[in-house]
Structure 1
Amino acid sequence: MPFVDRADAARRLAKALNEFSGKHPLILAVPRGGVPIGAIVADALGGELDVVLVRKLGAPGNPELAVGAVDESGWTYLTPYARRVGGDSTYIEHERLVQLDTLRRRRARFTPGRQRANVAGRVVIVVDDGIATGASIIAALHSVRQLAPARLVCAVPVAPPDALRHIAAYADQVVCLETPVDFGAVGAFYQKFPQVSDDEVVACLRSR
């Protein structure tokens, strides 16, 4: 396993992003697991931390398998295999509405009364604790791109090569520390991979 825990992965990711140190980059973390990583990266680079909210669309009967993802605007990315696993248009629309409702509740929970960080004209680094299908990070990158960053970077500790190939079209630069071909789940590449709670996310953002 390449990483001890998220803190270990974050410190190593920050080193790989050292070219942005001192440029006050905006680190946008994908909750929940990306937030503790984003906090360490932001501190190391002298950047600002905020969140980018997206939700994966789970496959029929298998919610852990992403058939797509949706951002807060409602824009939806679908994986090439979505229909093969039962994700027809009726199912996708229902799942999209369910996840949009979750996004609204998460925004209210994570950043109450807080203005979102300004993206326009800045170096923006979107981080998560790892990528499996790539659906969620693609939705996140698309969401940020609409806000006109000067440079959009995707940075993760681990991802399969095929997912990175899809992601490359949505970012100006992709930084990934480990790219195993034999990929199961993100947590398999960490010795310790506890769930990150909503309370931990809120505490992390409030401390900024």
Structure 2
Amino acid sequence: MFKDRADAARQLAVRLAHLRGQHPLILAVPRGAVPMGVILATALDGDLDLILVRKLGAPGNPEYAIGAVDEAGHVYINPDVAAHMEMAYLAEETARQQAVMARRRAQYGAARIDPAGRLVVVVDDGVATGATLIAALDALRARHPARLLVAVGVAPPDALARLRAHADEVVCLQVPGDFSAVGQFYRDFGEVRDDEVTALLSAWRKTPD
């Protein structure tokens, strides 16, 4: 069990220490992974930005991801639910999550660093179904990074297998067979608020090179 997200980030930084000197672009998934992204970008002497992607919640159960959508509107749907999905609901949920991303992009003031030709590391505190990260990875792949890595604290085996098909490398600290939620593997898994993300990015931009 991790003490908190900072603990997981420091462990990931050790696993990724070989990237130092290659000036990686660290892309954090808001909101929980943003503090982790700051730690990784600092440890690896890289750049920091956000990858905005939102899960698409199931009808009547918004916490269960049936898929995900990125800022450009690329939609990934979990294969096990694709055949049963109502298109009207999917369109409504997609539009709702894109509106959230537009609001957050404006609020956070993220840098929008071009990933083309870069060594890119997408970081998240953990993965449940993998849908959100897969949407992020597919969107990034279309922007032609030189290499695309994923760094996560914890993920179940099936989600990890799906992620590996969409990235050049996946680094995951814990792969438990008994998985119910990401938060069960963190002693402190408190919510990261919007104002914290804004403050972290503002402080990062003011850090001398």
Normalised to the residue count of structure 2, the TM-score between the two structures is 0.95
- After the TM superposition, which of the residue ranges 121-130 and 141-150 deviates more from structure 2? 141-150
Matches for 1:110-129 after TM superposition, within 5 Å: 110-111=108-109, 115-129=111-125
CA distance, structure 1, for counterparts of residue 82 and residue 145 of structure 2: 33
Task: Give 1:115 deviation, angstroms.
Answer: 4.1
Q: Residue 152 of structure 1 aligns with which residue?
A: 148
| Matched AA of 1:22 | G
CA distance, structure 1, for counterparts of residue 164 and residue 70 of structure 2: 18
Specify the SS of the correspondent of 1:153: strand
Q: Is the 8 A contact 1:60 1:87 kept in 2?
A: no
Task: Give 1:145 deviation, angstroms.
Answer: 1.0
Specify the SS of the correspondent of 1:204: helix
Task: Give 1:81 deviation, angstroms.
Answer: 2.6
Unmatched runs of 5 consecutive residues or more in structure 2:
205-209
Normalised to the residue count of structure 1, the TM-score between the two structures is 0.95
Q: Residue 186 of structure 1 aligns with which residue?
A: 182
Q: Deviations over 1:22-74 (max 9, x none)?
A: 11100000000010111101111011110000010000000000000000110
Specify the SS of the correspondent of 2:79: coil
Q: Does 1:171 align with 2:167?
A: yes
Q: Residue 207 of structure 2 aligns with which residue?
A: none
CA distance, structure 1, for counterparts of residue 118 and residue 199 of structure 2: 25
| Matched AA of 1:26 | L
Q: 1:121 to 1:83 in 2, by over 3 A?
A: closer
CA distance, structure 1, for counterparts of residue 107 and residue 132 of structure 2: 20
Q: Residue 100 of structure 1 aligns with which residue?
A: 98
Unmatched runs of 5 consecutive residues or more in structure 1:
none
CA distance, structure 2, for counterparts of residue 14 and residue 109 of structure 1: 28
CA distance, structure 2, for counterparts of residue 115 and residue 14 of structure 1: 22
Q: Deviations over 1:71-116 (max 9, x none)?
A: 01101000123257x63211111111111111111111111xx541
Task: Give 1:143 deviation, angstroms.
Answer: 1.4
Q: Percent identity?
A: 56
Q: Residue 199 of structure 1 aligns with which residue?
A: 195
Specify the SS of the correspondent of 1:57: strand
Specify the SS of the correspondent of 1:125: strand
Give RMSD over aligned pairs.
Answer: 1.1
Q: Is the 8 A contact 1:152 1:173 kept in 2?
A: yes
| Matched AA of 1:166 | R
CA distance, structure 2, for counterparts of residue 25 and residue 187 of structure 1: 28
- After the TM superposition, which of the residue ranges 141-150 and 7-16 deviates more from structure 2? 141-150
| Matched AA of 2:136 | A
CA distance, structure 2, for counterparts of residue 82 and residue 59 of structure 1: 10
Task: Give 1:137 deviation, angstroms.
Answer: 0.5
CA distance, structure 2, for counterparts of residue 83 and residue 154 of structure 1: 25
Matches for 1:1-208 after TM superposition, within 5 Å: 2-83=1-82, 87-111=85-109, 115-208=111-204
Specify the SS of the correspondent of 1:191: coil
Q: Is the 8 A contact 2:70 2:139 kept in 1?
A: yes
Specify the SS of the correspondent of 1:56: strand
CA distance, structure 1, for counterparts of residue 127 and residue 76 of structure 2: 15
| Matched AA of 1:173 | E
